[in-house]
Structure formats: C-alpha cells, structure tokens
Amino acid sequence: TSTMMGMPFEGHSTLGYDNAKKTFVNTWIDNAGTGIMYLEGPYDAATKTITLTGKCVDPVAGTGKEMNVRQVIKEIDPKHHVMEMYGPGPDGKEFKMMEVHSHRL
C-alpha cells in the first residue's frame, strides 16, 4: 500500500515457476488499472535477478490497447528484494513506472 500521483495505491503480485515451460511466471494487478498483467522470464543466478516480459492493457490511454511491460526482480539479500516495473513513456521509450522494495521481517 502506497500512494501514486497523490492517490491511494495498492498492488498484488503472484510469482511462481512453471515446471512445464521451465520459466518464471508473474501476474500483477493493482487499483490503477482494470486488467491483469501477465509476464514470463528466466532467473539469472549470477545476478540473482528474474527478468520478466509481458503485456497489459494501457491503464492511462483508456483505449483498450495492450502495451509491452518488463519487470526486474532482484534479490538484494535473503530478506530484501527489489521489483522494478518498466513500460513505454509518452515518447515511446521505456521508462521505470515503479519500484517496490519487499522486506521480510
């Protein structure tokens, strides 16, 4: 739970490993949009990073068009992970839409 552009913001993620596809799968949903984001990608043991790519309906444009998204989940240490989410900016170039720090207590 946080704020985004002065409004309350809450998002939920489900991350798992698909044994059949041999890849990580993630879903993301939040109160800024109406659709579920679906992403897939590999784990890089050398960098302790999962890089996922996928699509979601652009919540800002309101046209129903899909946009490409990328999520990077990095283990800082066993009790701290950082998730960065990227999407297209107004100029079409990728930009960081959000950064979430997760801490295990």
Report which of residues 65 and 61 the model is more confident about. Answer: 65
Task: Please classify residue 72 by burial: count the beta carbons closer than 10 Å to its beta carbon, then call 0-12 exposed, 13-18 middle and 19+ buried.
Answer: middle
Neighbours of 85 (CB within 10 A): 22
pLDDT at position 5, please? 73
Instruction: State the pTM of this model.
Output: 0.85
What integer is the mean pLDDT of 52-58? 91
Instruction: For the chain, give every domain's residue range.
Output: 13-103
- 22 beta partners: none
The answer to whether 28 and 12 have CB atoms below 8 angstroms apart is: yes
Whole-number mean pLDDT of the chain?
A: 91
